[in-house]
A and B are shown apart, each in its own frame.
Chain A
């Protein structure tokens, strides 16, 4: 008998008393009534608490802000679906690498890259969570992980208050990364310290009009 059949058999034996299944009560909050400004304010508050850099900007100002965030960088990687206009103000001195399915950077190359710029799929204001789902403007997971500095664009139209509001807007079978601030640990005396293995700097540009 295979291990699978045996384990499934054990489960059926264990459940021989046919435990009654109650309907799941879902009276938790699933909709919010916050205005756009309140949503932005909440998200900013959470991200700042996580020690992320945050700016709330207009769409027209993206190139300027992206360039200023990268002023200490010597190189930047971006996913092939990113609006390259966002990088137009980045100085020539900063090497640009586009990461695309046919031409992926190697891990050592990513490690040698200072920063990454991506967009994002959806953000949850209440918990300060930015969700990336591997769309072409966000790229594969490695590019937003290995470089030590992540500049992440959050269009205001993608902000919701509550996690349950985000769920219907996600394609779960795509590889997802939920990011709530830069990497951190609470492993020493349960005191939070920002900056471990993931990008130690997270800059979020919350963009109105996107």
Chain B
């Protein structure tokens, strides 16, 4: 018990779970041809943009190296960084709240909103509040939360779930968005077309009054700067500026991993982030605030620092660099699996390659269906190449597969086919003699393949292969045997 009081890293809760095994979810999503077409169009558009603006910078790799090292350094002394941040933020009139998990964070935010007497809030897009399910919690407490980012608004109006961390409505095309607006916006022009510019204008009209009258805003933060106590939000539409500037009360919810040691570090991240996420040289708007500023912006400024499994991820020395993620979404935009399944297949708030590692790191590999997420990758490595902070996602995926296999050892009555294959494979492939012995059976395979030299149907787990691929007939003799007879005369 004494360990508990030292603070044992605990798993996170909230919207961090796959609700079914990934292959089952993928099966459903793959069947949606409209979704496939929308995702293909959107991911290919963003890939090309990213490559163009990244290619402009001669020092891109140096920036990645710096970004990665800054994050590592920050994480290695996270406790000190957070205390330093708290001291500076508080000295300038900000108020800090600490939340062990999703539930505690939701309760803190609810209390803060209630204290203002308001029963509604405007929200800037925030992964942290998505993760803790804040909107649902507030709604249950009688507080209406209005999402103001265009894509979040689309998702909220459609009673849908986000499928991408940057563009939550990436799975919708312009016509689907138009239809949602026509259906759900009370004062929308019935002649609204599907032009993105017209749709953006409709969103502006829909939200304008809310912005101008809101008393309370809730935001996330892209970074916190320890040495000055500054918070930053990176955005495009100006909805962030509206929320961060006009209301009297601002409540920010931020994961503890977002803190950077020095304010000058943003010179690195503000070059890496926009180019990696929207493929722009710079996002239209970035706001920085340090506590409260007299006569400028909200006069009640709160920050909820959220653990919710982050310390659990931090305690995994082979996986902790996943916390270095700056939520740019480049990894999902380049991922061939994400491109075909979309974000909903991952269940968690965090989809794509980063989600496939972050979700199980935050919750523990055994939580719900999260053990299927690390397998949702062909390990092609496109995510690692694209990651602006060089998170070796493929290596962490493999590490977590190891955690998954180890977590099941001794708990099964019977070994699975995969267990047997791996156990047998371990014997066969750990010695040239063993493998050579098995290769004597190659002619058998040739026999199975028959005249057209193709194997078209395999049993058990190998059936997945022959569902859409043939297997060639094996040769009659292995290379090993050929070498022995040709080169060594044996």
Interface contact B236-A184, CB-CB below 8 Å = yes
Interface contact B204-A197, CB-CB below 8 Å = yes
Interface contact A28-B281, CB-CB below 8 Å = no
Write the B322-355 contact mask toward A (1 if CB under 8 angstroms, else 0).
Answer: 0000000000000000000000000000000000
19 A-B residue pairs with CB within 8 Å: A7-B82, A7-B305, A14-B312, A15-B76, A18-B76, A24-B66, A28-B271, A141-B287, A173-B228, A179-B285, A180-B281, A181-B284, A184-B284, A187-B151, A187-B167, A189-B173, A190-B46, A191-B196, A196-B238
What A residues does B245 contact at CB under 8 A?
141-142, 145
What A residues does B305 contact at CB under 8 A?
7
What A residues does B15 contact at CB under 8 A?
none
A24 in complex: contacting residue of B69, B199, B274, B286, CB < 8 Å: B69
- The count of chain B contact residues (Cβ–Cβ below 8 Å) is 107
Interface contact A13-B284, CB-CB below 8 Å = no
What B residues does A21 contact at CB under 8 A?
72-73, 76-77
B319 to chain A, nearest CB (A): 11
- Alpha-carbon distance between A169 and B225 when the two chains are bound, in angstroms: 17
- Alpha-carbon distance between A3 and B315 when the two chains are bound, in angstroms: 18
- Alpha-carbon distance between A179 and B241 when the two chains are bound, in angstroms: 11
Interface contact A163-B267, CB-CB below 8 Å = yes
Write the B231-267 contact mask toward A (1 if CB under 8 angstroms, else 0).
Answer: 0000011110110111000000000100000011011
Interface contact B45-A188, CB-CB below 8 Å = no
A177 in complex: contacting residue of B5, B83, B286, B290, CB < 8 Å: B286
Interface contact A175-B99, CB-CB below 8 Å = no
A144 to chain B, nearest CB (A): 9
* Interface residues in A162-207 (C-beta closer than 8 Å to B): 163-164, 166-167, 172-199
A142 to chain B, nearest CB (A): 5
Write the B25-58 contact mask toward A (1 if CB under 8 angstroms, else 0).
Answer: 0000000000000100110011001000000001
What B residues does A194 contact at CB under 8 A?
197
What A residues does B404 contact at CB under 8 A?
none
Residue of A nearest to B234 (CB): A178
> Contacts A142-B245, A175-B290 given: A183-B7 contact, CB under 8 Å?
no
A107 within 8 A of B: yes
A101 in complex: contacting residue of B104, B256, B295, CB < 8 Å: B295
Interface contact B212-A111, CB-CB below 8 Å = yes
Interface contact B283-A10, CB-CB below 8 Å = no
Interface contact A7-B264, CB-CB below 8 Å = no
B100 within 8 A of A: yes
Residue of B nearest to A26 (CB): B66
A184 to chain B, nearest CB (A): 5
**Other than the known A7-B82, A177-B286, what 7 A-B pairs have Cβ atoms closer than 8 Å?**
A9-B7, A13-B315, A111-B212, A127-B271, A175-B293, A178-B285, A187-B149
B303 within 8 A of A: no
A37 within 8 A of B: no
Interface contact A141-B7, CB-CB below 8 Å = no
What A residues does B307 contact at CB under 8 A?
7, 10
Chain B binding site: helix, strand, loop or mixed by DSSP?
helix
Interface contact A15-B78, CB-CB below 8 Å = yes
B200 within 8 A of A: yes
- Alpha-carbon distance between A73 and B169 when the two chains are bound, in angstroms: 36
A193 in complex: contacting residue of B148, B197, B295, CB < 8 Å: B197
What A residues does B204 contact at CB under 8 A?
195-197
- Alpha-carbon distance between A128 and B66 when the two chains are bound, in angstroms: 23
Interface contact A127-B76, CB-CB below 8 Å = no
Interface contact A196-B237, CB-CB below 8 Å = yes
- Alpha-carbon distance between A104 and B341 when the two chains are bound, in angstroms: 51
What A residues does B38 contact at CB under 8 A?
189
B473 within 8 A of A: no
